[in-house]
Structure 1
């Protein structure tokens, strides 16, 4: 689709107050009108069938359509920003369809109608201003990708027996093919609109894409922060609890949050590196730190590996962009509205920065091992003071600087000895002395006179900083005893030696040119301080959390398990046709269930119907069952009143089976504070002379569960409350016709307990037994579903996008470094997990992949500041 057209050569003008709508005048505008109406009809139908409330969903969808029409150039913001927060499957029971689909149809409906009716009409942009252009070969590749996905969906329907529509089908049924394959089609539905937006307002579109991804990262990170605060505590790195945030796709394991973080974090970091606004910088820094915490608490070795592999190339590509912008013949045209292009650091300054980072990482590990969190915090303040030291300290001569180092070290030793003696005599004096030394450093920093040569001032600053370093050792000694003393002294000597080298050799100082004032100074110091916090978080997680250490230590055993699982998964492909074209979208779980090992025969459910009513057929797996390995059907409920909860059950079974009924505080797969009852259900006794092969009779039972304590968590960190049903008998099946539950105050807690609304409000999970649900490798996932043809096409698209954004026509697009990093990070995490079986993650991936195949820098713009 070309840029939004000029005034129509034909058609009327419709006036609606300040808005002017023109009838479509070109073939593309008529096509856009048809697309908008088609997506509108689809979205309205989905919204009306929303399990929570059709009218409310339809109203919210209408508001999104209006926003998309008014701001159609920036629909990526509307689509991407709320993405990590709108997965309501644990409340709705929807998995094939979800709120993401409503948002895509709303953006498409509003955007295409705005384009077709020329709402907020733009002037036609010349071809050289089109920022999203696809060559004929790339268009063929995109069409081939779509055809491969469509064919795999068709094969999935066939493998499932035939296509049958259903609102609440599970992973074994035909609609799972739609769920697994839809991400690329949702992106393709919006791609012509985005092409038009990138032509009409290229910078506005790019800003919208960047803002949408940064806000999406912020949403996912805040959700992760809430989860840790509510369920584990912020600094608990020992509990076997991996963050899932609000990604319901992880109800059977997987790495949806991991993939989402590595796809979005590069954009926040790139925006942080380029913004010149203090407020935007502060907001961006907060988002990056939150995201780093979320990454850390995934306890995912894939994420830990992906971040350096992705972010290092991003920084190098961004630096290369900056060099080309500063040195190129069109550097005068570089957008400087948000500040001049920074000059890269000299080589020795980079060496100094690396040495400082390594020294702090080593010191942090030593101090935390002996002095705990308090010693680590004292070390952090030491480093913050070091990073804020003024440039005027290097104005004295080399001899004067050397004299200040020696005399300052001697004076600091005297002050440190006196401070240590005082800390031994007065309880908690160590902390007070550290605060006094910190205050002295702050006062001296405030008394700096830039541009003045003051050897005495240098001596005072050096003495105060060395004293602060000594009080850090004292804090570690006071808290950790002998171990804290010696580890603190080792860390202090390393940092003191590093500072001495940098003071004597100014070219090693990484902040040279960043004086006491100025934008470059505060930005670099803030970034370095953030880096200190990240290092502290990693050290605390590794040193204070046994769970992360265990995961790092068991990488070899887990890798062997992965290899075995991959071999077993590939053995499920039979014949050359399946290897070439795949088994079909969404068919791994069902194929693994029937043809895989016994451990792959996990539980399942089906909604059945007889002559009078609907009922739930709940089946247990045939593998070794445990509390975490049970297949659960659950419903989010309001927190019951403390006391006994009464459960009324109408069920039947053909053999003895233990039914587990639980009320727990639970976000997704980690139950806590559970109250449960585990009755044994028996078949209805047959009357004398009655045939034993007939369907078992329904039986009515009542159970009491509890007493249930007060649930729901604190108001500032609420916990979800979940009721779940599971079978604790291998291979058993129980049919449930009705279930209701009342708390001690007589309130009904369950909705749709008779299943007359199908599986609305019911959700399922497998808390610990995850391998049967995923092939655990993104490439093998594509191979299984789309065959070698689909894998080759996707690999070619990925390589082409990375190469053209790193070295080709798109390399100078402002977002190119971040897109390259996102695609590399996705591939790295995808080496250990499927990822593409989570539609929201797939949507972001295909958005970046398809945009990466067409984005290009506009002539004369250089490095545009989009942050």
Structure 2
């Protein structure tokens, strides 16, 4: 009998080696072919016009399209994995279009072509086996969302003065409406393909989505790690430097990295909780810790608030999922037999012990780091790792035997500690060696455990060694921090010793008693707890090792008042009932704030002009208070100049006395460092009567440039920038060239003959004019109350479906809920949707959340 949904042998069969292609016969296949052609034409045109190399971009586009055709069910992997790395705007000058557009069109073209021609044809599952299905009401809601976004695009273009196409337009021009509105349409372009993939291979599609988002998190977090390593140092928590990774959208502030992290981290945590493979668990744990470091170095209070609000419900939903699956009647369910038993909840005393242990460690970490620094904190980490791996056999002896082990172990450890302290005072660095020896002794004893044996002497040895390890931690802190380190670490050690002694004497207080007998699952739990220790230590180091995070936490009240004032001023830009109902249009906040907001808050701007045969850059300065960081800059990334004197030749005209600032810096996005720059005092030169001022050419000595570019293992970008230091001034620049000490010309397109290709702009410190700083208000401003109601309704519906509705048992439902909640929390303090990559990720989760549903009897993977 033919499989369900199997197509009969087609008459229109094309042989292509071992690959068989089938001509489209159904309406869906013909529609897929039309979509492939349309996306292919659009993507190829965009690739051919890429500012860096049209040929290479087109070749890369074709490669991705081919991969998407071969693996069309798992296109989310191809789509999401490189997403945080492919923003090349600082090199290209593109902001209306970007590499994400090329990626989406390539995946769509290849995927739809494979579906239309039945490349790698798969049996279509019956409707009840579809992992992604939309009810008629949800379809109407999605169409309404699309219509609202399209109308917002139309209104935005009209508000900008009508449709004018341009490859390099800025935030004030019509193409910015396309930039702000395109995210939802890109997701909608792929949604039918994803629906078909979830129908053909629902589990592979879900795994591909999970893998793509986890790889994206790994890539974005690795970029954040590189940035910290290159520009500040891994443990520098005092420098006023917030991580931006490779999210160019933060060139005028914003929270693109913040939104990305809170939407992708839940998927990594969910995968970590469910995997049983040791190597996958290790990789997942590494990714989670790397992402935690990236979250910490955003120094974003929104991220710190979003993570618990998102992750706690995720864990609860995942646990409820597994319990429902495990309680299903075996006679009527195809529940995966590898689910294993459902873990019983911790008893009350065990919960009390867990709280005591967590509190003791948190207090100890703060005390030890305050006096003993990073080395004392590392010694404390080894203490806790040994504690969390204590074997269950320690509780087999009687209470009296365990009490004697505690008392005698404390005395013996005191003697060992005294001898160790004396040795550390006599021999340099001996404190670290002794700590390592104590750690090794504890590890050897753990290895020599005999789980079924009752050995009071073994309990004495383990207790003695662990108390000795505590003593060496105090010695390390004393050696590093002196008297302060000694007494703070001693207080921490006594607290931990008391907690452990109580747990050894009363086994019901020990929260890992069940895990000790749970085999591999118990070790996974311990590994997760060790990861939690690392995260707590990182937070303690950030708070105690630098003032920046403390200052940001302390300034929340003043920043909150600034936000409220900014929101009120932003809403005042909506005039009349029509704008409140339908919005002012996509991408129009910056221009509206510039022309209709307070004049004293106007930011700088640029335009490329073509007058009387001249092509030039019209650069203006803001009217706000211009500190060095508040200057509006137009920049270009360059190769590292040779050390020595560098010169700039600039052809310009100005109607007023203006200060032009030129600089070469090591700079990722908005934090310049090791700059060589100069101020150029310019004066107008009169032209013919009635004509604009005359053009002037000036050679400027930039100064002695240092060796820039960073180290080979932590390279730094080098950027040339120019800006005006005179409030409200304007300068026209027709040509600019930079020459290093070896005579090399470092600027490309210095005459602006290729429009703004290779030029990029930034507002390093003045961010409020560029964002309304709230995702809901952003939607209200662009799409009005109608658009806000539609998006809010879709958001709540997705949360309801995945929490208590038909989608609650889909394996990815908890992570999607957490991602949406994280977006909402960070979006309460920043716009987010004005960053296309973040908007694309959000609408992907939202629209998938409206359709995901569990397969009957599928069950879920076991949660640790």
The verdict on a shared fold, with TM-score over 0.5 as the criterion, is yes
Query: What is the aligned partner in structure 2 of residue 370 from structure 1?
Result: 371
* Offset of residue 703 of structure 1: 1.2
Single out whichever of 835-844 and 391-400 deviates more from structure 2.
391-400
Q: Deviations over 1:67-104 (max 9, x none)?
A: 00000000000000000000000000000000000000
Q: Deviations over 1:405-440 (max 9, x none)?
A: 222222222222332333334333322222222122
Q: Deviations over 1:231-267 (max 9, x none)?
A: 0000000000000000000000000000000000000
* Offset of residue 311 of structure 1: 0.5
Single out whichever of 406-415 and 126-135 deviates more from structure 2.
406-415
Alignment of 1:374-385 (within 5 A): 374-385=375-386
Single out whichever of 699-708 and 420-429 deviates more from structure 2.
420-429
User: What is the distance in 1 between the residues matched to 2:65 and 2:398?
Assistant: 67
Within the candidate set 820, 824, 831, 1:823 is matched to 820
Query: What is the aligned partner in structure 1 of residue 157 from structure 2?
Result: 157
Change in 2 beyond 3 A, CA 1:184/1:26: same
User: What is the distance in 2 between the residues matched to 1:329 and 1:491?
Assistant: 50
Alignment of 1:334-413 (within 5 A): 334-336=335-337, 340=340, 343-348=343-348, 349-413=350-414
Query: What is the aligned partner in structure 2 of residue 115 from structure 1?
Result: 115
User: What is the distance in 1 between the residues matched to 2:10 and 2:461?
Assistant: 80
2:697 aligned counterpart, secondary structure: strand
Q: Deviations over 1:629-672 (max 9, x none)?
A: 00000000000111111212111111111111111000000001
Query: What is the aligned partner in structure 2 of residue 792 from structure 1?
Result: 789
* Offset of residue 866 of structure 1: 11
Query: What is the aligned partner in structure 1 of residue 609 from structure 2?
Result: 608
Does structure 2 retain, via aligned residues, the 8 Å contact 1:5–1:122? Answer: no
Does structure 2 retain, via aligned residues, the 8 Å contact 1:356–1:498? Answer: yes
* Offset of residue 9 of structure 1: 7.3
* Offset of residue 781 of structure 1: 0.5
User: What is the distance in 1 between the residues matched to 2:444 and 2:278?
Assistant: 24
Query: What is the aligned partner in structure 1 of residue 756 from structure 2?
Result: 759
TM-score by length of 1: 0.97
User: What is the distance in 2 between the residues matched to 1:488 and 1:10?
Assistant: 77
User: What is the distance in 1 between the residues matched to 2:157 and 2:727?
Assistant: 30
Change in 2 beyond 3 A, CA 1:440/1:361: same
1:389 aligned counterpart, secondary structure: coil
* Offset of residue 515 of structure 1: 3.5
User: What is the distance in 1 between the residues matched to 2:358 and 2:847?
Assistant: 37
Query: What is the aligned partner in structure 2 of residue 660 from structure 1?
Result: 661
User: What is the distance in 1 between the residues matched to 2:537 and 2:4?
Assistant: 50
Single out whichever of 369-378 and 508-517 deviates more from structure 2.
508-517
Unaligned segments of structure 1, at least 5 residues: none
2:228 aligned counterpart, secondary structure: helix
Query: What is the aligned partner in structure 1 of residue 719 from structure 2?
Result: 722
User: What is the distance in 2 between the residues matched to 1:420 and 1:516?
Assistant: 38
Query: What is the aligned partner in structure 2 of residue 712 from structure 1?
Result: 709
Query: What is the aligned partner in structure 1 of residue 462 from structure 2?
Result: 461
Alignment of 1:792-811 (within 5 A): 792-811=789-808
Does structure 2 retain, via aligned residues, the 8 Å contact 1:4–1:200? Answer: no
User: What is the distance in 1 between the residues matched to 2:566 and 2:195?
Assistant: 41
Aligned Cα RMSD in Å? 1.7
User: What is the distance in 2 between the residues matched to 1:189 and 1:284?
Assistant: 31
User: What is the distance in 2 between the residues matched to 1:334 and 1:210?
Assistant: 21
* Offset of residue 344 of structure 1: 4.5
Q: Deviations over 1:767-820 (max 9, x none)?
A: 000000000010111111111111111111111111111111111111111111
User: What is the distance in 2 between the residues matched to 1:427 and 1:292?
Assistant: 35
User: What is the distance in 1 between the residues matched to 2:15 and 2:861?
Assistant: 37
Query: What is the aligned partner in structure 1 of residue 698 from structure 2?
Result: 701
Query: What is the aligned partner in structure 2 of residue 749 from structure 1?
Result: 746
Query: What is the aligned partner in structure 2 of residue 585 from structure 1?
Result: 586
Alignment of 1:237-248 (within 5 A): 237-248=237-248
* Offset of residue 458 of structure 1: 0.6
User: What is the distance in 1 between the residues matched to 2:407 and 2:165?
Assistant: 81
Change in 2 beyond 3 A, CA 1:778/1:330: farther
Single out whichever of 699-708 and 51-60 deviates more from structure 2.
699-708
1:628 aligned counterpart, secondary structure: helix
* Offset of residue 4 of structure 1: 12
Does structure 2 retain, via aligned residues, the 8 Å contact 1:391–1:514? Answer: no
Alignment of 1:441-840 (within 5 A): 441-515=442-516, 518-686=519-687, 690-691=688-689, 693-840=690-837
Does structure 2 retain, via aligned residues, the 8 Å contact 1:310–1:821? Answer: yes
2:637 aligned counterpart, secondary structure: strand
Query: What is the aligned partner in structure 1 of residue 843 from structure 2?
Result: 846
User: What is the distance in 2 between the residues matched to 1:347 and 1:76?
Assistant: 42
2:258 aligned counterpart, secondary structure: helix
User: What is the distance in 2 between the residues matched to 1:261 and 1:353?
Assistant: 29
Does structure 2 retain, via aligned residues, the 8 Å contact 1:740–1:748? Answer: yes
* Offset of residue 336 of structure 1: 4.5
Query: What is the aligned partner in structure 1 of residue 42 from structure 2?
Result: 42
1:15 aligned counterpart, secondary structure: strand
User: What is the distance in 1 between the residues matched to 2:861 and 2:69?
Assistant: 27
Does structure 2 retain, via aligned residues, the 8 Å contact 1:450–1:516? Answer: no
Query: What is the aligned partner in structure 2 of residue 315 from structure 1?
Result: 315
* Offset of residue 347 of structure 1: 3.1
* Offset of residue 33 of structure 1: 0.5
Does structure 2 retain, via aligned residues, the 8 Å contact 1:350–1:510? Answer: yes
User: What is the distance in 2 between the residues matched to 1:808 and 1:490?
Assistant: 51
Query: What is the aligned partner in structure 2 of residue 86 from structure 1?
Result: 86
1:206 aligned counterpart, secondary structure: helix
TM-score by length of 2: 0.97
Q: Deviations over 1:602-652 (max 9, x none)?
A: 000001102323111111111111110000000000001111112121111
1:124 aligned counterpart, secondary structure: coil
Does structure 2 retain, via aligned residues, the 8 Å contact 1:12–1:22? Answer: yes
* Offset of residue 58 of structure 1: 0.4
Does structure 2 retain, via aligned residues, the 8 Å contact 1:93–1:760? Answer: yes
Query: What is the aligned partner in structure 2 of residue 95 from structure 1?
Result: 95
User: What is the distance in 1 between the residues matched to 2:347 and 2:48?
Assistant: 62
Query: What is the aligned partner in structure 2 of residue 430 from structure 1?
Result: 431
User: What is the distance in 1 between the residues matched to 2:755 and 2:248?
Assistant: 20
User: What is the distance in 2 between the residues matched to 1:303 and 1:524?
Assistant: 25
Change in 2 beyond 3 A, CA 1:864/1:118: farther
User: What is the distance in 2 between the residues matched to 1:450 and 1:340?
Assistant: 22
* Offset of residue 490 of structure 1: 1.6
* Offset of residue 720 of structure 1: 0.2
2:627 aligned counterpart, secondary structure: coil
Instruction: Determine whether 1:129 maps to 2:129.
Output: yes
2:634 aligned counterpart, secondary structure: strand
Q: Deviations over 1:722-761 (max 9, x none)?
A: 0011001111111111111221112110111111110000
* Offset of residue 353 of structure 1: 2.9
Query: What is the aligned partner in structure 2 of residue 282 from structure 1?
Result: 282
Instruction: Determine whether 1:299 maps to 2:276.
Output: no
User: What is the distance in 2 between the residues matched to 1:857 and 1:458?
Assistant: 49
Change in 2 beyond 3 A, CA 1:599/1:307: farther
User: What is the distance in 2 between the residues matched to 1:649 and 1:715?
Assistant: 33
1:172 aligned counterpart, secondary structure: coil
2:403 aligned counterpart, secondary structure: helix
